[in-house]
Amino acid sequence: MRKLAIAIFIVILSASLLPAETIANVTGRNGLVLVIDRGALDGVELGMQGIVKALYREPGGEYTINIGNFTVSKVMERSAEVTMEIGKGLNPDDARYIVFEKELQPASSPLPAAAVAQNADWHLDQGDRAVDAGDAAAALAHYEKALELEPGNLVAKEKCSETRKAIATAERAAKFSDYLKKADAHYEKSDVKFAFLYLVEALRLYPEGKDDVRARLSVMEREYPQELAAVLEEKAGELGDIRSQIDSLLAKPAGPGTKARAGEAAEPRADAGGKDEASAAPSQPETATEPFLQKVSGKAGKAWRNDQGFWEALFHGNISMVYIPEGEATIGSPAREGDADEHPAHKLFLEGYWLGKTEVTFEQYDRFCDATGRPRGADEGWGRGTRPVIYVSWHDAVAYCAWLGEQTGLRFRLPSEAEWEKAARFRYPWGGNAPDSSLANYDKDHMMTRPVGSYPKGASPYGILDMAGNVWEWVQDWYDPGFYRDSPNQSPQGPESGSERVVRGGSWANGADLVRSANRSSEKPESKLNILGFRLALDGK
């Protein structure tokens, strides 16, 4: 190891006056390893050396000092890692930029593969770029190469698994679409039997598309009831376990030979707002002894397992809540995505809790206003009913929770920020693909709110709707841009004080970046906007 030659002195020329070809900014740190924003395409090579500098601002002006020397230890296309030797008593966290001993010479032509350190990190980075470009096959090839280079790399292993699942899902979705087209073609020829059989195979292949199957079965049942009944009878012995799903989509009693799983209610047929007028689902199943179900026993109208297998319950007539089980969750954004307040991504543990399946609607909130004598809020002329309530402050939302608690005997509240993000789960609630008009109300697509539950394809893994777009949602926490750096790892409740409250999920007026699950924003608690509403939470114990 070469001897450190650290000279601490005030620099007369600012960093901006140094030749651009000699400096690089520090974008990340891990002990004495720094990540910089220049790489092989900028002329960075393994073994290059130079000085690490810190930048300080004081009332008297701005100055820099040398705090150590560095050697380039890893090179990617547009970034690199340098290993630092630091002077005694100095802090590596103060490193802001580095100065190379010689000027960089940017690559003038495509680099040969050997010019870039194609290690696991490089392949992970290339895989992420391929995902952003929509090329899942290329992404998988990079992730698999990363795993080959580092068999124990858990990030590579998880990305391989998720990408394989995404590819398989996309293939199933494509074949599902093909089956629907064939079903439609047969239906146009009044060939009910084969139209129905293609719908059955589509449902078997891709249960996530049940809403498309339900719509077609409903039309078939209305226009050709006798023919459909005849096919169901003829194929009763061949439909097997799929029969219960078909009966559920048609809102019929279970067919011959079908059984519900022990302790489960039949699948409800709910509308977008969580209403369940036509469902034959019983109230609390006698075999359901879980504490979180016992707590709401007699206070919830009905309880059942939803399509994703999670418990759902109906409160106060038409408020549907989904139970999120206790366990670990990762919140925050990966290193190359999102704003500073979303970092670092970190794991935490949350107790089980209930979360509103949809945002609180005008219909639900107006009932509170009428009962308490509050004036009903404005709706912009967009309509009320099952649209999310807007022009509600954080204080209004808390008051509604308190009132609902008085009506039900349960302590309804706003979710914590961590609870909200766990329920959203993926990059977007539906997964890693960017939003489109079938998944969320965003990017001024309609220039107004939409009735809650209008985007079932955009549901989170727990079956929760509208977590991206429609309206921003108040949560309980005060906002602190640096909170994720020191967040407790068990059931965090946010800072003890602040001037603004956190809002999550983005709205109808925001683009794709702001409707990501990890995106954080804030508003003064008295704010009332046409892009701002809320959803409910309830303790599980």
Matching residue, tokens 């977590």: 467
Residues 445-465 pLDDT 10s: 999 999 999 999 999 999 999
Report the range of poorest mean pLDDT among 18-22, 180-184, 213-217: 18-22
Average pLDDT over residues 8-28: 61
Per-residue model confidence (pLDDT) at position 332: 92
Distance CA 163, CA 293 (A): 35
Cα–Cα dist 231/196, whole Å: 8
User: In the 8-state DSSP scheme, what is residue 469?
Assistant: B
Residue 257 has pLDDT above 60, yes or no: no
pLDDT tens column, 392-440: 999 999 999 999 999 999 999 999 999 999 999 889 999 989 999 999 9
Position 251 scores a pLDDT of: 65
Pair 359, 470: CB distance under 8 Å: yes
pLDDT of 110: 55
Min mean pLDDT across 82-91, 160-169, 248-257 is at 248-257
Confidence check: pLDDT of 8 > 60: no
* Mean pLDDT of the 79-83 span: 91
Q: Does the structure show a pLDDT above 50 at 9? A: no
Residue 50: phi and psi, rounded to 5, are: 170, -160
Kindly report, residue by residue over 138-170, the tens digit of the pLDDT: 889 989 988 988 888 899 999 999 999 889 888
The structural domains of the chain, ordered by start, are 15-115 (2.40.10.410), 128-138+151-259 (no CATH), 359-539 (3.90.1580.10)
Res. 55: pLDDT tops 90:
no
CA 449 – CA 447 distance, rounded (Å): 7
Q: Is the pLDDT of residue 443 over 90?
A: yes
Listed in sequence order, the DSSP H helices in 316-426 are 362-372, 394-408, 417-424
**Tens digit of pLDDT for each residue in 225-251?**
888 888 888 888 888 768 888 888 886
What lies within 8 Å, CB to CB, of 110 at 6+ separation is none
Report whether 488 contacts 348 (CB < 8 A). yes
pLDDT over 50 (residue 276): no
Q: How confident is the model at residue 284 (pLDDT cuts 50, 70, 90)?
A: very low
**Bigger pLDDT: 58 vs 337:** 337
Bigger pLDDT: 268 or 18? 18
Q: Which of 16, 21, 35, 18 is nearest to 95 (CA)?
A: 35
> Which residue matches tokens 């900028």?
42
Location of structure tokens 């946010």: 494
Q: pLDDT for 372-381, tens place per residue? A: 999 999 999 9
Residues in the chain, total: 541
Contacts of 355 (CB under 8 A, 6+ apart): 321, 322, 324, 415, 419, 420, 423, 462, 464, 535, 536, 537, 538
Note whether 258 and 243 are within 8 A (CB). yes
Long-range (24+ apart) CB contacts under 8 A made by 13-21 are: 14/62, 14/64, 15/53, 15/55, 15/64, 15/97, 18/99, 19/103, 21/103, 21/104, 21/105, 21/106
pLDDT of residue 116: 55
**Whole-number pLDDT of residue 275:** 33
Q: How far apart are CA 296 and CA 273, in angstroms?
A: 20
The rounded distance, in Å, linking the Cα atoms of 228 and 21 is 74
Band the pLDDT of 504: cuts 50, 70, 90.
very high
The least confident of 67-81, 274-288, 352-366, 523-537 is: 274-288
Q: What pLDDT score was predicted for residue 107? A: 67
- pLDDT reading at 109 higher than 60: no
Split at pLDDT 50, 70, 90, the class of 289 is low
Please choose, from the candidates 173, 149, 45, the residue with its C-alpha nearest in 3D space to the C-alpha of residue 103: 45
Instruction: State the pLDDT confidence band at 117, using cuts at 50, 70 and 90.
Output: low
For residue range 308-333, what is the model confidence (pLDDT) as tens digits? 889 999 998 889 999 999 998 889 99
Query: What is the pLDDT of the chain when averaged over all its residues?
Result: 84
* Chain mean position to CA 472: 14
